[in-house]
Structure 1
Amino acid sequence: MTHEHIPGLDLNNGVRIPQLGYGVFQIPAEHTQQAVESALEAGYRHIDTAAAYRNEAAVGAAVAASGLAREDLFITTKLRNGDQGRAREAFEESRSALGLDQIDLYLIHWPVPSQGLYLQAWREMEQIYSEGLVRAIGVSNFLPDHLEELLGEAAVPPAVNQIELHPTFQQQALADTSRRHGMAVEAYSPLGQGEDLDNAAVAQISQRHGATPAQVVLAWHLASGNIVIPKTATPERMRENLGALSVELSPRDMEQINELDAGRRLGADPATASFSQY
């Protein structure tokens, strides 16, 4: 399975994003370069990092070492919560750490409503976008009320809302709201940090298709129209995850997985999360 097979989605500004990417959350900096090099070798072309992960420089080193053409890669990074008051400087720090002239997608990592700074951060990001330093801007963990407030002020609507989304936590209303406003929905923790793979329905469907549980869940995301960024440090698992592209779920399979929604959030609640990420 090579990158030619990875489907893309067109964002609201016409930029194309590979629908299946590779995330580096919680991969220690000293292991990140090797992991990203392995992912690129396996065929991934979309890499998702963040200032808060403290591994941007290692992602940049892997990109440089890969020898791949810059236009064949899609690199996402995110504004740290504690940097919302200095978005421009933080963006330049990320760009410098990544060693890139242009970032493909830059996201506000969390709304942190208690800080009241995300509108200010967005205005700075719109300026960065207008200068061509980033190809698309978006948000992460924004709930409907945060989106409404932002859209009320924004000159450039967010291209993406990256949210926790997996079979037992589908956030359907939030996903629908995001899409209705023209944002692509990107799923993090797409496998429920592995917990959703032990589900009986998932096991049953994977047996029917001769696929692994992870491939079935990723195929469900892809068929649902989500951008998805599974994370693993093992090359074998990276290749296995790409195998989701050849799993075609039936309407019945999709329905079975849709029915697993249990409202089971694993991460922080964006309504109250206020950590600085420093």
Structure 2
Amino acid sequence: MFKTADGHTLELAPWRMRRFMRLLAQARRTPPGMTSRTITQDMQILLRRARRVGADPNRRIARFESSGACCRACFLARQKRDAMEVVALAVAPGAHLYEREIDALEQELEDFEFEVERSANVTLAWRHYKTLRGAADNTSGIGVYILMRGSRPIYVGKSDDVGARLRRHRLYARQHDSDLNVWIANTPRASDAAAVEHVLVRALRTRVTNRKLKVALIVGKRGLRIDNLLPPGIASPKAPGKAIDLAAGSLFEFAP
């Protein structure tokens, strides 16, 4: 925990502290031989000099800004017990290294990553349909789907009624003259579908257009076990293989 310049307590999870240090190293353009102790000191200075500059009462999110060290930093934090938990951060070169206007930093704030909590215990049975029409006409119930253009995945989705959702996709595809095929897997519960969707997006994150789900995933109380994660023939260098099995509280993350 860290005390800010105006008396607030900021709390960082260990994995977010590591991410903060990586961002600082990148912003500093760290020269060879610089010790991690130097980066750690910079991180502590930025946290201590942070000041609260705004808040979103609907989400109970506060915004902090800090400068005067090697870089300039912004934090988003939410109330958690007697402290503010940092849920997102951005770092930009500043001060004596590089000048950068605050509006550029504001743009980075729009790309803040928030973590979500998901649980599931499912084995996926994937079915492939060559057309959206065939998929929409032969599918119902809760599930997830992967839209494909040829052999390339382009979008991951979920729905409480997959058939109805794919009929809407079919209308969109027709309007844009798209030739799509689709993989589908049903899940027992909507919460399972949400977890599978999130994992798939992160497994295929460099290949699909989903943006909002490319965020940190914290494993919920029921754990996270997904067997047969990817359909046949869809490989990804960032995918963890065919199965996910993590205990509650784990951070689910892929290598950069």
> Smaller-chain TM-score range?
under 0.3
Task: Please report the TM-score for the alignment, with normalisation by the length of structure 1.
Answer: 0.25
More helix by share: 1
More strand by share: 2
Task: Please report the TM-score for the alignment, with normalisation by the length of structure 2.
Answer: 0.26
